[in-house]
């Protein structure tokens, strides 16, 4: 998968891995990078043969060390508003796309990098990772959804402390508060995430997409309404070929061949 300058998109069977590819800038996110992210996620979402997306950074120092301050420093109000809208659109696309997105945090995930992590379905971190929302140190605030998603991912008091002090947390603390699922040595991080991605890719893709959609929307829905959506989605899957294939394979003690139909 080519045609990008600031990111790399690689394919391994049904799993795509997207690398932020500005190592000299600690993979900082500028406008061009965010626009490429939108294009790449659209490519993944529209490819029926791809079932899981991994986000990580090039090099061993940073996942993404924030938005590019050199580009932001002289922005006007309207320019800053458009930049925040673009970043929020990227995060919303990751959060709502029809395939799971997993973050492999290989170093610093600060500011916009942390916001991208929270737009993923779940995350794993290298043991040297540093994660945070340091924007107040620059006299601004998170603009890509950080003040809102952090409250939904970790205990409220810890989220408020992180945003209001700007102090980052290390990988061990991120694991303790539930921001990441596991912490691993550098050499194990991507193989571990790839193994989980391939495990998910073997499941029924319509069921995985439906489950992700329900879990994302259910966070902001009253429980009775969310349960209505769950049972309707559950029943709807019984009209698919994959449901019959999955259950027949189970009864016949063989591996299923899901086609996303």
Quickly list H helices, the chain: 31-46, 69-72, 77-96, 112-119, 146-153, 156-165, 171-177, 186-201, 205-218, 223-236, 241-251
Where do we find the tokens 């508003």? 81
For the annotated catalytic residues, the residue numbers are 115, 135
**Could you give the CA distance from residue 13 to residue 18 in angstroms, rounded to a whole number?**
14
Task: Locate 185 and state its tokens.
Answer: 């040595």
Task: Locate 13 and state its tokens.
Answer: 């069977």
DSSP assignment of 44-99: HHH-TT--EEEEEESSSSEEE--B-HHHHTT--HHHHHHHHHHHHHHHHHHHHSSS
């Amino acid at each position: 998968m080519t045609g990008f300058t600031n990111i790399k998109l690689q394919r391994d069977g049904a799993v795509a891995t997207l690398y932020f590819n500005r190592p000299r800038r600690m993979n900082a996110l500028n406008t061009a990078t965010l626009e490429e992210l939108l294009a790449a996620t659209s490519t993944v979402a529209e490819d029926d043969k791809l079932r899981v997306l991994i986000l990580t950074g090039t090099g061993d120092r940073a996942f993404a060390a924030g938005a590019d301050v050199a580009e932001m420093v002289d922005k006007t109000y309207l320019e800053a508003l458009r930049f925040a809208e673009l970043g929020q659109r990227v995060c919303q696309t990751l959060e709502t796309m029809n395939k799971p997105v997993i973050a492999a945090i290989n170093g610093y995930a600060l500011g916009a990098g942390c916001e991208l992590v929270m737009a993923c379905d779940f995350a794993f971190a290298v043991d040297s990772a540093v994660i945070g929302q340091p924007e107040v140190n620059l006299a601004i605030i998170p603009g890509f959804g950080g003040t809102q998603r952090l409250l939904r991912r970790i205990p409220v008091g810890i989220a408020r402390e992180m945003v209001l002090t700007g102090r980052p947390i290390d990988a061990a603390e991120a694991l303790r508060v539930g921001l990441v699922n596991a912490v691993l040595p550098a050499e194990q991080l991507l193989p571990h995430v790839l193994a989980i991605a391939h495990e998910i890719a073997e499941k029924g893709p319509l069921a995985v997409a439906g489950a992700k959609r329900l879990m994302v929307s259910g966070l902001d829905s009253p429980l009775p309404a969310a349960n209505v959506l769950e049972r309707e989605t559950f029943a709807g899957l019984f009209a698919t070929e994959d449901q019959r294939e999955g259950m027949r394979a189970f009864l016949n003690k063989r591996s299923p061949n899901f086609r996303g139909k």
